[in-house]
Amino acid sequence: MIRDAHGPGALSESLDEAAHRCLVAGFDGTTAVPDTLKRLVDRGLGGVILFTRNIRDADQVRELTGTLRELRPDLLVAIDNEGGGIGHLVGAGAPEVPGNQALGAADDPALTAACADALAGHLATLGITVSYAPVADLQHRPENPIVRTRSFGADPDLVSRHLRAWIAATEARGIASCAKHFPGHGGTVTDSHHETAVDPRPYGELDLAPFRAAVDAGVPMLMSAHVVFPALDPDHPATLSPRILGDLLRGRLGFDGVLVSDALEMKAIADRYGEAAGARIALAAGADQVIVAVPHLETTLACRDAVLDALGSGELARERIEEAAARVRRLAQRYATPPAVVAPWDADAGPEAARRAVRSRGGLPSPVPGAYVVDLFPPPHPALNWGGEDLLTEVRTLDPAATGTALTSEPGEAVVAEVLRAAAGRPLVVAVCDSGLYAWQGRVRDALLAARPDAVLVSTGLPEAAALCSYGRGRANLRAVAEVLAGSPPTAGSAL
């Protein structure tokens, strides 16, 4: 028998292992595995999640994932890998794909499949076999602060066909995909990383169709949303709701794969419940795994202890944890081991998708060689965007005569005046990224356009009227816009 030091009761070795299967842990380090994590793995830890903090280069990642599997071969190694500006593998040579909004704008499922194949193939070469992608949320509220260009679009049929393409391509590589965030984060005006999010719509208006499509396509994993849906359960966010995870997902939608929570340290859970209680409640509600993404393993231990204590006291049913662990084991049998041979992928698929998205709105502006480029965008989201790419850099790569500035906060009037002086006598490009959310961008844009109505307006977030639109801020997106501005058509067969 194993008695946890923090738990009141004795648990069998099999139940202790089952409880650990239900955890996914983040950690610090690029080579060495912390001793605490080794002990968790030894007791059955279900998976680990990698972030930019764990990535240096491709060889290092392969060595790290190999070390993790030496500890236990059926450990699931996962990462967020949506493409576009959302990813952690730039340092490891990730394929440049434009992100979902651009793929939806191009609306070619074969091209989406090729981009998903590139991302999954790259993961396979690194020994990462679980991809927390694709995003199945619909983007139909302009105020939504978190979905936006991560979504394929607003139309459920469009989103569903691209989900099917993505899931099939990822599965063909032997990588587990994970559609998120069930039952949809697109109807909120709040980022659940920062506070509780609510979708107030009636049941008939909720965004369930893409998730039905993902389930029908055989997606092996779904991720829950930390969102309250009063029409489904007015008292709990989806991650903690038996009605949503059990009655709706398992019952009505018939999903029998692994349901994993979004990260428990997100404030929608952590501030109201605490991570440890969140882990216990989520598993009781029907989640099969809970993610503790922060690298502080004491938080993971606190979540583990809460689950073990609840099992020991009978507050958490043994049968629920055994059911969850069985699903995780089945997933590991299918996906824990990376393929021995990885076929090459189409390196041109991402650049081509980015270019097709830029051209999807019809007419393009004439090239503006030697332009002064003002790129306005918010600071990268700490949980999502790690690239920090800017349009000026991409334009200058193609047109060394271009110059300009990149701004992530509102400048003073003197800076705006200096921009206008520097741009005098040359084309001016003004790029914004979701200016509807970040009012300072609108003010700077309007001041510049008032003085220079001839300026070319670019949108690198959701599309804006009268703008050249990239549908995202990944490097592939920005390079596709830069090609238009610089008048530099791509060479046939070239990759970005």
Could you give phi then psi for residue 324, rounded to 5 degrees? -65, -45
Convert 38-49 to b/e letters by CB count within 10 Å (16 or more is b): bebbebbbbbbb
Question: Any catalytic annotation for residue 193?
Answer: yes
d(CA 372, CA 424): 9
The CA-based dihedral angle spanning residues 83, 180, 337, 283, taken in that order and rounded to the nearest 10 degrees: 150
Question: Any catalytic annotation for residue 296?
Answer: no
The pair of three-digit structure tokens given for residue 391, joined into one six-digit string: 């349009």
Q: Are the C-beta atoms of residues 292 and 318 closer than 8 Å to each other? A: no
Q: Are the C-beta atoms of residues 285 and 225 closer than 8 Å to each other? A: no
Please identify which of the residues 262, 375, 390, 434 carries the catalytic annotation. 262
Q: Are the C-beta atoms of residues 186 and 147 closer than 8 Å to each other? A: yes
Please identify which of the residues 20, 88, 162, 193 carries the catalytic annotation. 193
H-helix or E-strand containing 87? strand 86-87
Q: Are the C-beta atoms of residues 118 and 349 closer than 8 Å to each other? A: yes
Strands 178-182, 130-131: pairing kind: unpaired
Q: Are the C-beta atoms of residues 148 and 137 closer than 8 Å to each other? A: no
d(CA 133, CA 350): 16
Q: How many CB atoms lie within 10 A of CB 12?
A: 11
Secondary structure (H, E, C), 102-136? HHHHHCCHHHHHHHHHHHHHHHHHHCCCEECCCEC
Alpha helices in 154-260 (DSSP H): 156-172, 209-216, 242
Residues, the chain, total?
A: 496
Residue 487 zone, left/alpha/beta (φ > 0; ψ -120 to 50; rest): left
Could you give phi then psi for residue 205, rounded to 5 degrees? -105, 0
Judge residue 204's burial from the number of C-beta atoms within 10 Å of its C-beta, 0-12 exposed, 13-18 middle, 19 or more buried: exposed
Catalytic residues: 193, 262
